[in-house]
Copies of this chain bind each other. A is one copy, B any other.
Amino acid sequence: MKSVKTMIAEALAAGQNTLSEYDSKRILTEYGIPATREFLTEDFADVEQAADRIGYPVALKACAAAAQHKTEMGLIELGVKDAVELKRAYDRLAPKARDLGGGILVQEMIAGSRELVMGLIRDPQFGPCVMFGLGGIFTEALGDVSFRVAPLNDQDARSMPSEIQGSKILGNMRAMAPVQTDHLSRCLRQLGQIGLDHPAISEIDVNPLIVRNGLPVAVDALVVLQTPEPQAAEEAAVSGNLDILFEPQSVAVIGASGTPHKAGNDVIKNILANDFGGKLYLVNPKGGEILGHQVYPSIQDLPDGIDLAIIILPASATPQAIRDCAAKGAKAIVMAASGFAEVDEQGQKLQQETIQAIRETGVRAIGPNTSGHTSTPHNFTSSFFPLGKIPRGKVSYIAQTGNFATHTMRYIMTGEHFGVARVLGMGNKLDVEESEVLEYYGRDPETEAIFIYLESFKRPRRFLEVARQVTRSKPVILLKGGSTAQGSRAAVAHTAALASDDRIIDGALRQAGVVRVHDYSHLILAAKGISAMPLPRGNRVSFSAPSGAMLVCMTDLCHRRWGLQVPKFEEKTRRYLQDISPPYIRIRNPVDIWPAATATGVEYAYREGTEAVLKDDNIDAVVMILMITEETGVPSMDFIVELAQRYPEKPLYVTFSGQKKHEVKLWGVDVCPEVLGPMALTPVSRMA
């Protein structure tokens, strides 16, 4: 038998861009994926012999590389029951097969009403990806499919079927045997392996994949070929040490300015406001002094041994400045200017020159078109947006936008009141990019959770590889901007038609353990939650509120939208809550706290009630919904902070309804009462 490689090479040499069904399935079976039992025949004697060996009923198909859309083209005869029918079917098909330059395929009939699909595509970002979903006409009609990037490990493959909406079809249904998971996941992994082994295969469709006695069997298959181009392989990953970026001992600002509100001035103020402990050098042709610091007239005049240079010069001056700084020993560069490839052709040329300068000098560089980076454990920032002292915290950001070093950081500081560990605005990503930074944050003891805003992946496969490692120990939350921009691609096979950018990214991120969000505000509010509270151990929550309607709505949303449970309390909890409530209210989870508050006072009821729930082993996270009005009393909020401190393993969130005027102090910061909305929840800080 020919090897798969030979088969593909010969087909390409013959100018084919697809393989016949028979050849396509030979590749599958070579990789252990079961296909229908079948024989490729040349004349009726062959056909008869094949049918006898398989046993009736059989299917006959015209088989040729060009034989696609066989149903629509009348190239299939199904359910042929005996020799008489066989002859008739043969007589109908044989001329068509001859015209296509192929033979007749005699195939066993597979009984099974569950039609699935699996497929392979070569994604421009992530390379070979495997698809699984509902087959037959439902592949097109529902698009109920799931993707993974190859290679798939066992868990990747096993999780695919459970992700499709029609997954119930795979279970024990209408007395049909459930699909054997081991078997199916092995097929999916092997399909990925084919993609990895054979760059000349651009797509595979296995549709339908029919389940017989719990085992999936490929009933039809199509392999699409391409002349494998010398793959523009992902640039080799850089895994340098980014310490020099985040913990420089000496910093030079090239383009320092004495004029307030100019970037070259604000960056100095930021560095000073953050109490940077290293040496700070300023460069400006005018010389003199800025903010009490000596100004050097040129880079050449600087002392040797600069760790990091922040270049705030016009774009055109950037390449030379890099070379000059490197000559003074700079190992890291922040390139602030915009006006590169994001703008026009001239900018593109300039960008090439800049890349050249970075490569020649071996510096590590962020930007250009970055608004800077921040490293609070090192009391340092290169941001040139006026931020002042940036509070230290335990979440870190990677952002393909300047926002997190500019006005979003301002909003975080003034509106949400949490701190950050590291922040890096990537700009045009000429050198340092997301996968390397993610790797650094993964190892960084100062970073406990990582938030990412990305519009493109510079090294997609490397990113996944790193993320897979990092998510084992730290949550990684990502917003991919522009996810709906890229539609489905032009496609020969169904798999490709369904492989929109967005579906592939969904699959890839799940595979890597990354949590995907779609709201910009969630990058801020989830970070706030994680900053102040432990992660819950599970998805079982309890609420208390002064209003039945709020409890009802929250419970609905838990079930309907968030996949959270609102379970029963332990009996001791229920009894305690019942004891502090008037007898007419029947206590359960969630808790209608108002009767108790009326009977025993707002603070007592919320404090005692919440403490009982915090002790309950059935509950992983607790939310207090407080109503604040003058008339019902504005309690001191200290008891909430005390509760959070006393139960540090369990997250406690609080939100407010009622009068807006009554601002509440929690950890020394004004908190406006907000209408019920889970993303407006205020995590109770232990720092209070």
Shortest distance between the CB of A636 and any CB in chain B (Å): 20
Contact B166 A142 (CB under 8 A): yes
Cβ-based interface call for A549 (8 A): yes
Q: Which residues of B contact A483 (CB under 8 A)?
A: 556, 560
Q: Which residues of B contact A658 (CB under 8 A)?
A: 407, 410-411
CB closest residue in chain B, given A550:
B520
| Interchain CA distance A144-B553 in the complex, whole Å | 25
Which residues of A610-663 have CB atoms within 8 Å of chain B's CB atoms?
Answer: 627, 629, 631, 657-661
Cβ-based interface call for A301 (8 A): no
Shortest distance between the CB of A623 and any CB in chain B (Å): 14
Contact B584 A553 (CB under 8 A): no
- Cβ 8 A contact of A175, one of B72, B166, B548, B661: B72
| Interface size counted on chain A using CB atoms at 8 A | 84
- Among A278-286, A460-468, A470-478, A671-679, the one that faces the other chain is A671-679
Shortest distance between the CB of A205 and any CB in chain B (Å): 14
Cβ-based interface call for A2 (8 A): no
Contact B675 A520 (CB under 8 A): yes
Contact B631 A386 (CB under 8 A): yes
CB closest residue in chain B, given A417:
B660
Contact A343 B584 (CB under 8 A): yes
Cβ-based interface call for A100 (8 A): no
Cβ-based interface call for A79 (8 A): yes
Q: How many copies does the complex hold?
A: 2
Cβ-based interface call for A250 (8 A): no
Shortest distance between the CB of A18 and any CB in chain B (Å): 18
Which residues of A552-572 have CB atoms within 8 Å of chain B's CB atoms?
Answer: 552-557, 559-561
| Interchain CA distance A415-B548 in the complex, whole Å | 21
Contact with B along A361-403 (1 / 0, CB 8 A): 0000000000000000000000001100000000000011111
Shortest distance between the CB of A656 and any CB in chain B (Å): 9
Shortest distance between the CB of A58 and any CB in chain B (Å): 14
* Interface residues of A, Cβ cutoff 8 Å to B: 71-72, 79, 81, 113-114, 136-138, 140-142, 144, 165-169, 173-175, 261, 266, 339, 343-344, 385-386, 399-403, 407-408, 410-411, 414-416, 453, 455, 479, 481-485, 518-521, 524-525, 546-550, 552-557, 559-561, 584, 627, 629, 631, 657-661, 672-677, 679
Further 17 A-B residue pairs, CB within 8 A, beyond A165-B165, A520-B675? A72-B174, A138-B166, A140-B168, A141-B167, A142-B166, A386-B629, A401-B548, A402-B547, A407-B657, A411-B658, A411-B675, A414-B659, A481-B553, A483-B560, A484-B556, A484-B560, A519-B553
Q: Which 5 A-B pairs have CB atoms at the shortest separation, nearest pair first? A: A415-B660, A401-B549, A481-B552, A414-B660, A141-B169
Selected A-B contacts with CB under 8 Å, 14 pairs:
A72-B175, A142-B165, A142-B166, A142-B168, A165-B165, A386-B629, A407-B657, A411-B658, A415-B660, A415-B674, A455-B552, A481-B552, A484-B559, A520-B553
